[in-house]
């Protein structure tokens, strides 16, 4: 196991590299809930875990946990009949948060362990490392989603039934909804309004980038792909830590900043 975690120079993103002990890790295709549970169980500070799980940061009766995590990256096989995904060989997973205590806690815990259990299956931890946001300040940033981006609006119909409307990157209101979510998260953490605007535009996004998944039996529509994010650097940093859009703590909205040609990470 390689150790690359320096708590004296804390960044807000951990990369965990692990390998299935039994040669493969078999998960449901919709595995976000499983990885969220694994993350909560990995927090050693029980008071912090309880705060994040049960309360989080509040603004206008909305709760924000202010952490996010990526999809799993690596070689995999899909079994659509069984609705399973089978990871083989090395697997990569990213976790980020604006909360220093959470990143330190998780980093130290993973460093102390050689093996963990995911969905009842043992996996070996090969490396725990910190990834820093290294980008020059500019007007716009090209980003690639490491977990799909979702924004939505909940309303009641004439019968009093709750309905959820999800927005696609091609909807006129998409950018405004992403900005509104950012403002709420920013206010929840800093207790003040952010300065400057935020806009997001699809760059390399098509209908093939639509991701439909289930989280606790709730259908979620989300989008992967490459986008242009126009915002002050402070906003970029905050969103790098907390995630874009909604449902970040359920494994949505994590991104990396890329060059115009994009990166070569394999995604599922």
For residues 101 and 253, what is the distance between their CA atoms, to the nearest angstrom? 21
Where helices occur in 157-204 by DSSP H, the ranges are 174-190
Q: What is the pTM of this model?
A: 0.90
Furthest-apart CA atoms within the chain: distance in Å: 58
Residue 121 has pLDDT above 80, yes or no: yes
Domains 2-130 and 140-257 belong to one CATH topology: yes
**Residue 260 banded pLDDT, cuts 50, 70, 90:** low
Retrieve residue 251's tokens.
Answer: 């494994």
Positive or negative CA dihedral for 252, 256, 257, 261? negative
Contact criterion met (CB below 8 Å) for 129 and 13: no
Q: Which CATH architecture has domain 140-257?
A: 2-Layer Sandwich (3.30)
For residues 128 and 248, what is the distance between their CA atoms, to the nearest angstrom? 22
For residues 242 and 137, what is the distance between their CA atoms, to the nearest angstrom? 19
Fold of the domain built from segment(s) 2-130: Alpha-Beta Plaits (3.30.70)
The three-point CA angle 132-113-24 to 5° equals 90
User: Which among 253, 16, 31 has a CA at the least distance from the CA of 144?
Assistant: 253
Segments making up each domain of the chain, as ranges: 2-130, 140-257
Residue 8 has pLDDT above 70, yes or no: no
**Residue 160 banded pLDDT, cuts 50, 70, 90:** confident
């Amino acid at each position: 196991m390689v150790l690359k975690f320096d708590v004296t120079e804390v960044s807000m993103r951990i990369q965990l590299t692990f390998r299935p002990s039994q040669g493969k890790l078999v998960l449901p295709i919709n595995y976000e809930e499983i990885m969220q549970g694994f993350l909560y169980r990995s927090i050693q500070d029980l008071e912090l875990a309880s705060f994040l799980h049960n309360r989080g940061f509040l603004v206008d009766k909305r709760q924000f946990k202010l952490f996010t995590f990526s999809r799993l990256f690596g070689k995999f096989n899909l079994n659509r009949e069984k609705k399973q995904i089978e990871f083989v060989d090395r697997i990569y997973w990213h976790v980020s948060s604006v909360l220093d205590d959470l990143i330190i806690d998780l980093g130290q815990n993973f460093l102390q362990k050689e093996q963990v259990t995911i969905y009842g299956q043992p996996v070996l931890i090969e490396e725990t490392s910190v990834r820093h946001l290294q980008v020059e300040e500019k007007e716009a940033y090209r980003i690639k989603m490491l977990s799909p981006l979702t924004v939505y609006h909940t309303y009641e119909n004439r019968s009093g039934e709750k309905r959820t409307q999800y927005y696609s990157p091609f909807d006129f209101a998409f950018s405004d909804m992403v900005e509104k979510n950012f403002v709420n998260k920013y206010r929840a953490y800093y207790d003040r309004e952010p300065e400057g605007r935020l806009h997001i535009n699809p760059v390399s996004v098509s209908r093939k980038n639509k991701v439909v998944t289930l989280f606790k039996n709730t259908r979620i529509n989300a989008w992967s792909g490459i986008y242009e994010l126009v915002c002050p650097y402070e906003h970029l940093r905050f969103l790098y830590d907390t995630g874009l859009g909604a449902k970040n703590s359920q494994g949505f909205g994590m991104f990396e900043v890329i060059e115009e040609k994009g990166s070569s990470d394999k995604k599922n």
